[in-house]
Amino acid sequence: MNHTRHQLDLNMQRRQFLGQSGISAGALALNSLLADESLGAAPTASALAFPKRAHFAPRAKNVIFLFMAGAPSQLDLFEPKPEMKALHGEPVPGSFLEGLDDALIRGSARIFASPRSFRQYGESGMHFSDFIPNIAECAEKLCMVRSVHTDISNHHPAQLFMNCGVPRFGLPSMGSWISYGLGSESQNLPGFIVMLSRNGSGDLGGPALWDSAFLPAMHRGVTLRNSGDPILHLKNPGGVTTQLQSKRLNSIVRLNELRFKKQMDPEIQQRIAAYEMAFRMQVAAPELLDFKDESRATLQQYGIDDETSSAFGTNCLLARRMVERGVRFVQLYHYTWDDHAALNKKLKENCDMTQKGVGALINDLDQRGLLDETLVVWGGEFGRTPMNEVRRGINAGNEGRDHHPFAFTMLMTGGGIKRDFVYGKTDDIGYSPIENPVHVHDIQATMLHCLGLDHEQLTYHYRGRDFRLTDVAGNVLHDILT
């Protein structure tokens, strides 16, 4: 799907709409909506307001990607590995490292059996630890992929790799590719919205993870806050009347139109399109954050009444409300999972903050009949080592786990995904996949496939070559699809 760059018809009705609206020129949130105006192609009216045709019949219409930045420990959440108890405190047996790059293994590292207790759920018998009971209760709706691996072992490049398909800056994010490929079903909200939460300081790659790069800037993720002003600078500034701002905007629109007629610069069209979206968002965004129509029971299920889980729970409820309103791609980042030390304490804190919201979101979508058309994905950029990590100043018993790109777990559910299904297997210590290894590009290709997009056809020609999310790799995981 290599879309051509059609021009926007700047007719009198649009001039009148923009000229007569009371939208604040200083409140258009252009930093979020336009990003870098030197990048991107000209939008069309339909690119903002109407969905585009998929390559084939989609199984899902929307995506909610719950990205756990920092990398949660799969060995303490999903992979009990009872064999590790006999090896606890011992060096890693050489048999597990044959043919592998073990340069990342510290000389002092020892096998670290998880102290967590696990139970099996569903007919598939998937394991969940005692830290995530609310997610475990959704087992019959989930597909657990236990053999994911990546090429990168550092946070920011690995986060770029998972979200943009390459471990470097300057490439479009997954949400941007999907927005570009399918358009938006919402005329009042952006097609790609991002929300953030954390537990203290975190490790996140920043706006590059939701950037549109060389794709039209309208496909860039818009960051939304769950309290106060949902988008900074969206409201009219204090002390400035609607009439004054209307005059200012009318002048800006006329100048933009004159410049476009003279230079035929498609970037000007993006500005005008962004003005229209910002006007609509002034009404839609506050309504989105107004929970007055949500029952008290719903708020409690999401953990919004609990200070610990309120922030992420609120984001999860907003994610449901967004897909109800046609937002194509919603991404929630919780970015404090990098547990090099104090694993038991920090892992529990992050689970307490997030697991109630995750469970409520999945169940709520299912009860409302939305799960079958919404793809929900949970996971981080890589996993954690089967060995402990004892850093200087950290005593044994308070250790954590290091970065582990060779094997980790992701959860998927919703449109097109098998329920109560476990895919892939790792060795006895969880170091490497031994059945059905799944590369990050395979996850990306499968997500696009669920939306009716062929990852090899969703391309954009830029600087002499065709780019795509999965670079030159990726296979759809047909075994996990319904």
pLDDT in tens, 346-380: 999 999 999 999 999 999 999 999 999 999 999 99
pLDDT in tens, 76-92: 999 999 999 999 999 88
β-pair type (192-197, 329-334): parallel
End-to-end CA distance of the chain: 25
Which 8-state DSSP code applies to residue 481? B
Q: Stretch 442-468: mean pLDDT, rounded? A: 98
Q: Stretch 434-439: mean pLDDT, rounded? A: 99
Considering the entire predicted model, what is its pTM?
A: 0.87
**Which amino acid type is present at position 65?**
F
**What values do phi and psi take at 16, rounded to 5?**
-65, -40
User: What token pair was written down for 477?
Assistant: 């995981």
CATH topology of domain 12-480: Alkaline Phosphatase, subunit A (3.40.720)
In the chain, the percentage of residues whose pLDDT exceeds 90 is 68
SS3 68: strand
Reported residue count of the chain is 482
In sequence order, which ranges of 293-336 are alpha helices (DSSP H)? 296-301, 310-324
Mean pLDDT of the chain: 86
H or E stretch at 243: helix 242-263
- Sort 425 into a burial class: Cβ within 10 Å, 0-12 / 13-18 / 19+: middle
